[in-house]
Structure formats: structure tokens, C-alpha cells
Amino acid sequence: MTAITEGRVVIVTGAGRGLGRAHALAFAAEGAKVVVNDLGVGPDGSGTSRTPAEQVVDEIRAAGGEAVAHAGDVASAEGAASLVATALDTFGRLDTLVNNAGFLRDRMLVNLDEDDWDAVMRVHLKGHFLPLKHAAAYWRAEAKAGREPAARVVNTSSGAGLLGSVGQGNYSAAKAGIVGLTLVAAAEMARYGVQVNAIAPAARTRMTEQTFAETMAAPGEAGAFDAMAPENVSPLVVWLGATASAGVTGRVFGAEAGRITVMEGWRPGPTADKGSRWTAAEAGEAALKLLADSQPPQPVYGAG
């Protein structure tokens, strides 16, 4: 059986550790040539190092695959441009972009500094926008030249972006923004042969290791299923990044352990139309009746 991404060129950002590393290795195992991007920062975004990206490249090459490291900052115009250029210069094409890079600076809102807000919004939201912008420009040029691509983008949102998460106002806002960006990109880029989807994964990484530490397979349990291993998320990402996902775009998928969920977002619910302007009292009365007929919201992570 032919590997699902045989011959495709794939960029994975934040691929030195955690989910990104798992994605890069999974794509390579399915025949893709991988650009492994990682700035090598700490869990809070401090410091830089080429080592994480280079180590993953070494793993891929040791297994017989093809990969190249990129240690640039994808949340800068220069870094994002050089990322796409690395794929084109090394492998001659680009087929799939997986936006995954990020870090955390958790604080309750009243304690959240402006710098922590800006840093998290930058790495997650701007770090999705800029690689997508430069990849999309390449794919648009290919389509206009009569070489319409079968291109794929997989963005990384979070349950925090869909439901909210106490102590993560900056992260939740950035991840919610990624969903909006995904929907717009899917609509704008469809004419050029580009599909854009997002995942909301749950897995144990440097950012979540304390949260999911208790769900690890117990030491010595041979063959035990590690439900929170990042490798559990990667098969869906690889499929979304392959031509096999043709026709799937503008969707958000939850991925956790052995479970895949199609996330269904905002859509009109109960509605009242007076046909003229409401008074404040009337609007309140109508709103309460509509709320009584509506589905209650899912709880915010960490609330209550």
C-alpha cells in the first residue's frame, strides 16, 4: 500500500517537541519530505536553540526519510518567508503546512501583563497568519500558472479557544482567533486548490504535562495505551494534510486519545423578531425566553 503522503512536502512549525515532533515523524513515516521548524524556546517563549529541530531531522533521516531543519521565528515576516523558501529551495515544492508553534504564559486576567498578552497572541495567532500568508501566495501563483495544487493547511486551535479556559485569557483568545482565521482562509483559498482545517487537540506536551500527568500509562505496563501521548493526534493531522482528505475544508476537529470529534461552532439558535425596535424591558423578556429554549453552553475549562 502506498504511503498516504508519499512525495508530498510538508512544513510543521513548532516541530522540535511535543505535538509538532509527533506530526513531523508521522508525516515522514508516511513518505513525506518534512521541513522541521522550531525556534527552540522554553515553555514560556524564552531562549532559542537549533537543537530541537535538528534532533527531529536526525530522527527522520535515521529512519530513512528526508527532512531539513528551520530554526526561524515564524511569527516574523522574515522567518515565515524563509520557512516557505526553505521548502522550495530544498525540495522544490510545498504541499502541506501544519501550523503548530506556540507557548504559554498563564495568568488570571487581573494579573495578566500586557507583555504576556502580546507574546502569546504573537506566537499563536501571528505565528499562524504569516506562514499561511506566504504559503498561500506560493499556491496562488502555482494555480494562476496552470498548476493548481492539492494543498493542505492544518491549523492548531484548542478546546481553550472553543470553550475558554480559566487562567488562560490570552491563550484562549489566540486559539479562538485561529478558528476564525481558518474559516476565512478556507473560503478565500478554495479557488486555488487549498484546503484549510483546524484541530483542537488534547495531549501531554511541555505545555500540558502537569494537567495530563495522571493519565499516563503506568510504568511497567507493557502495551498499555497512553491516552495523552501526542502521537495519538498525528494520524488525523497526516490525513488532513494528504490528498485523501479531498473535499474537507473549513472544519474543526477535536482529537484526543483514540477519539476524533467534529466540532460544531456558532450557528443561529432560538430567535425572536418583533418586526420593530424593542424596548429594553421587552428585549430582556424576549432574551430570557430564548435562553430557556436554548442549549446551555459547555462549561469553561477550570470553572466551578
Is 192 noted as a catalytic residue in this protein? no
| Alpha-carbon span 69 to 48, nearest angstrom | 14
Tell how far CA 27 is from the center of its chain: 15
Angle at 131 between CA 208 and CA 160, to 5 degrees: 30
Of 175, 192, 234, 245, the catalytic one is 175
Is 158 noted as a catalytic residue in this protein? yes
Q: Which three cell numbers stand for residue 181?
A: 482565521
Q: Strand locations in 187-270, DSSP E?
A: 194-202, 252-256, 259-263
| Alpha-carbon span 165 to 170, nearest angstrom | 10
| Alpha-carbon span 129 to 77, nearest angstrom | 10
Q: Which three cell numbers stand for residue 2?
A: 502506498
Is 301 noted as a catalytic residue in this protein? no
H helices within 35-94, ranges in order?
51-62, 77-91
Of 82, 157, 165, 171, the catalytic one is 171
State how far the alpha carbon of 286 is from the alpha carbons of 18, 21, 37, 250, 275, in Å: 48, 51, 52, 33, 13
Best CA proximity match to 8, nearest among 92, 94, 90: 94
Positive or negative torsion for Cα 13, 17, 22, 25: positive
| Alpha-carbon span 178 to 303, nearest angstrom | 23
Of 33, 126, 138, 158, the catalytic one is 158
Positive or negative torsion for Cα 239, 213, 264, 163: negative
Best CA proximity match to 5, nearest among 151, 119, 168, 196: 151
Q: Which residue has the cell 494579573?
A: 111
**Which of the residues are catalytic?**
158, 171, 175
